[in-house]
Structure 1
Amino acid sequence: MKRFFLLMISLITVILLVVSCEKGEKTVRVPLFLVNKAVAKEFPVDKNLVLARALLENPKVSFSDERLIMDLDYKISLAGNKSEGKTKVSSAVSYDSATREVYLTNLSVDEIRNKDGSLVEKGRIYDVINELLANYLAKKPVYEMEEKYKDYEILGIKIEKGSLYVTVKN
């Protein structure tokens, strides 16, 4: 995940460089391929949890109207039982101007399907994936404004109409 944070820093740095030529407020759309590239570098996520081992891999990022969506492959070994398939996770994106950090917020597991495509009922598999998300992604900043960009102000980061936008002011 540290690489994801660094790649998000790189993406926002590129945006800041692009808008540095002009004074004032600018809103820039971050291309989806850059977001996918950043996320792909953070996977696979392979963690040992209490009584379980979980692997998340092969992320594919898209955006709904207001949320970041990640489709992931999962493999979970839970008390000797193995399960694998695909899961859909969604998140909002928020910026804390006091700390100058960007966070993924309101992470949720929207859907889990077994290898055969059947829906997994809510239960321990959901709990394991939620625990992995809560301990691995939540609460960690994905970007902190670097000192050399202290003259830039991030006015907002939002997902709107299926795209990620960053608004900056210099």
Structure 2
Amino acid sequence: MSSSLRAIGIAALVSVLAACTTLGLVSAWLNNQVAFTAPQLQRSMDRRFPRTFDKLGGLVSVTMANPGLSIVPGESRLRLDFDVGIDGLGGSGNPTGRLALASGLRYDPATRGLHLSDPELLQFDLPDSGTALGGGARGILNTLLAEYARSEPVYQLEPDLLSKMPAGSRIGKVAIERGLVVVHLDR
């Protein structure tokens, strides 16, 4: 079998396994990796939002709602979109704006979760906020994103899946490959 046919076969099998894990049928490591689809991560995000985060000692609250997670074909980062509202600094708190970011992922053993890695703010629109609020709000959002990336998983790996890791291995690189989130094992 040629190496290109083998690669296509492995990619197809990983896609099938990812689809099965979406249905809760299979959680297995294949070739020292496991793959997750954007819909799997989306369901996890849907359970965690809407959320309100207090900043500046409670002077400002940021509400994030309606998360949208996607993997853009050919990209190596996730795209996350949220409705956003800021209470304080002249805002009403109701999600009237839009926030978009791109981010890689990393594994955190303390949470058994996949966390944002180096999130980059792509878009921040808050209607009727004025330019002063826009700059101040952008700084608050950057701080919020850094804290969120540090402490909140986008997706948590199931204990059953972690128990099936081959002996002597640990979770290594997390990458976006072929439209999937792929968790690689290191030995």
- The CA distance in 1 between the partners of 2:79 and 2:71, in whole Å, is 5
Which consecutive unaligned segments of at least 5 residues does structure 1 have? 1-10
Deviations 1:45-97 (A, max 9, x none): 10222221110000000123111111100011233334731110221112468
Amino acid at match of 1:61: L
TM-score under structure 2 normalisation? 0.63
Contact 1:113 1:120 in 2 (8 A): no
Distance 1:42 1:31, change over 3 A: same
The structure with the largest helix share of the pair is 2
Query: Does the C-alpha gap of structure 1 residues 121 and 91 become closer, same or farther in structure 2, counting only changes over 3 Å?
Result: farther
Flag structure 2 segments of 5+ consecutive residues without an equivalent.
Answer: 1-20
Partner AA of 1:156 in structure 2: K
Aligned to 2:40, the other structure's residue is in SS state helix
Match of 2:60 among 47, 52, 73: 52
Identity %: 21
Give me the whole-angstrom Cα distance separating, in 1, the residues matched to 2:62 and 2:118.
21
**Structure possessing the higher radius of gyration over alpha carbons:** 2
RMSD over aligned CA atoms reads: 3.7
Residues 100 and 144 in structure 1, CA contact (< 8 A), matched pair in contact too: yes
- Report what 2:83 is aligned to: 73
Of structures 1 and 2, the one with the larger relative CO (CA 8 A, separation 6+) is 1
The structure richer in strand per residue is 1
Note the alpha carbon deviations across 1:110-137, whole angstroms, 9 max, x for none.
1112359xx99951121122222222x2
Normalised to the residue count of structure 1, the TM-score between the two structures is 0.68
Count of residues paired in the alignment? 151
